[in-house]
Amino acid sequence: MSYWQDIGVHRDAMRRLTGGEKQVLKTISLPNRKEKIRILYRRIGPGVFLQLGHSMEPYTRFYQAFKTIFVITMGLLVILSALTGWFMARRALSGVTAVTRTARQIADGALEQRVPVKTAGDEIDQMAVMFNRMLDRIQSLITGIRNMSDNIAHDLRSPITRIRGLAEVTLTTKTGLEGYTQMAASTIEECDGLLDMINSMLLISQSEAGASRLVSVSVNLTRLLADACELFQPAAEDKEVSLNCDLPEETPPLSGDVKLLQRMFANLLDNAIKYTPAGGRAQVTLQTRKQGGIVAVIIRDNGAGISFGDLPHIFNRFYRSDQSRSQTGTGLGLSLARAVARAHGGDIAVQSRLGQGSEFTVSLPVEAYRDLP
């Protein structure tokens, strides 16, 4: 009964009961207790009112315990969430940090550096893979530029040295007009060789970049190859090489640039004759392949052949294998041939064995066969 010592009758509750309400519920606070008390007033008869009370101590204790547990739990969750977020952010940004570190090393000149790729397969790993591919491409281009610069310097040095030597000899030993005329003729010949090399390099670069303008006309490939064989027949006879051309009477018309195609096949025929010893043979074959919608020009010989280690590099500019260094040339013929083939939507494949000969296959698309099954 200690709860009821300070509890009186609430006047507002009595007024509402006399006013007609059946029951009134009041929650009050006692000055000397922490918990509140809930009081129920009810009219049970004329002039008789019932007052019931219930201590809210269990609810107060439950609320205090809940508040304590909630605060502690939420504090722990906030700390755990912050640590988890920090860990995930560090893990997610570690890939970006690796990319940044690699980019800084590459900027300092370490072109061989690559971004480490993890096995998670997420977006950061995909970005690292693409970044490494881009670096491989850039490194290959820079390496190609360096090699090409070295090769250009090497190939330019020889004719320029010959021109200077010829001029020096002429100035020191020749006194008549005939000597100077001979020097001018030799200088023009050397300059023509330099111009041919430079024009070939420009043509290759334009073809590979897609900037060259093809003068496309309908080309009779049988006639073009027959003219090329006829042109190189004297050179083959002088070297005692048998040149055979197996060409069909009619082939579907090919859309292409006549001059570029002539130069491509001329380079391939010249190589076949140049690297075939006396008594050997070179053959040109033209095949139509309806299933692939292409025509294939096969130029094979039984000459010196190409070593396995040189095959991946023979189409690079200025590349010359050991067995080709004894022959004249700049190392641009095969590179130009492939650039022309690709500019026409085709390509060149090669099969060769050292000492047994080579076989170059030029595949060019034919409009008449593209839609056939």
Domain boundary among 181, 209, 237: 209
pLDDT for 368: 44
Same domain, yes or no: 204 and 222: no
User: What's the CATH number where 284 sits?
Assistant: 3.30.565.10
Q: Please give the DSSP secondary-structure letter assigned to residue 314.
A: T
Same domain, yes or no: 133 and 228: no
pLDDT for 370: 41
pLDDT for 154: 65
Q: Say if 81 falls within a structural domain.
A: no
Copy the structure tokens of residue 350.
């090669």
Q: What are the percentages of helix, strand and coil residues in the chain, rounded to 5?
A: 55, 20, 25
Same domain, yes or no: 176 and 258: no
List, edge to edge, every strand of the sheet that includes 357-365: 242-246, 281-289, 294-301, 357-365, 347-353
Domain boundary among 55, 70, 94: 55
pLDDT for 121: 65
Greatest CA span in the chain, whole angstroms? Answer: 156
Indicate the number of domains in the chain: 3
Same domain, yes or no: 274 and 326: yes
Q: Say if 103 falls within a structural domain.
A: no
Q: Say if 360 falls within a structural domain.
A: yes
User: What's the CATH number where 205 sits?
Assistant: 1.10.287.130
Domain boundary among 209, 242, 274: 209
Instruction: Look at the alpha carbons of 71, 76, 77, 81 in this order and tell me if their dihedral is positive or negative.
Output: positive
Q: Please give the DSSP secondary-structure letter assigned to residue 371.
A: T
List the chain pLDDT tens, one digit each, 373 residues. Answer: 566 667 778 888 888 888 888 888 888 887 777 778 888 889 888 888 888 888 888 888 888 899 999 999 999 999 999 999 888 877 767 767 777 887 788 777 777 777 777 766 667 778 778 888 888 888 777 776 776 666 666 667 777 887 788 787 777 776 677 777 877 888 887 787 777 767 666 666 666 655 556 677 888 888 888 888 888 888 888 888 888 888 887 777 788 888 888 888 888 898 888 888 888 889 899 888 766 678 888 998 888 888 887 788 787 766 666 555 555 556 677 888 888 888 888 888 888 888 888 899 998 887 644 443 3
Q: Say if 105 falls within a structural domain.
A: no
| Residue-range definition of the domain harbouring residue 192 | 123-209
pLDDT for 322: 54
Same domain, yes or no: 360 and 252: yes
pLDDT for 74: 93
Contact of 364 with 301, CB cutoff 8 Å: no
Same domain, yes or no: 44 and 176: no
pLDDT for 111: 72
For the stretch 76-129, pLDDT in tens is 999 999 999 888 877 767 767 777 887 788 777 777 777 777 766 667 778 778
pLDDT for 178: 75
Distance CA 30, CA 366 (A): 103
Same domain, yes or no: 222 and 305: yes
Q: Write down the H helix ranges in 5-122.
A: 11-18, 57-107
CA 50-52-58 angle, to 5 degrees, is 175
Same domain, yes or no: 231 and 320: yes
For the stretch 260-309, pLDDT in tens is 888 888 888 988 888 888 888 898 998 887 666 788 889 988 888 888 87
Q: Say if 180 falls within a structural domain.
A: yes
- List strand residue ranges (DSSP E) for the chain, in order: 23-29, 36-45, 48-55, 216-219, 242-246, 254-257, 281-289, 294-301, 347-353, 357-365
pLDDT for 3: 61
Same domain, yes or no: 315 and 242: yes
Q: Say if 68 falls within a structural domain.
A: no
Q: Say if 363 falls within a structural domain.
A: yes
pLDDT for 32: 73
Same domain, yes or no: 233 and 171: no
Same domain, yes or no: 221 and 360: yes
Same domain, yes or no: 177 and 228: no
Q: Say if 115 falls within a structural domain.
A: no
pLDDT for 177: 75
Distance CA 349, CA 338 (A): 9
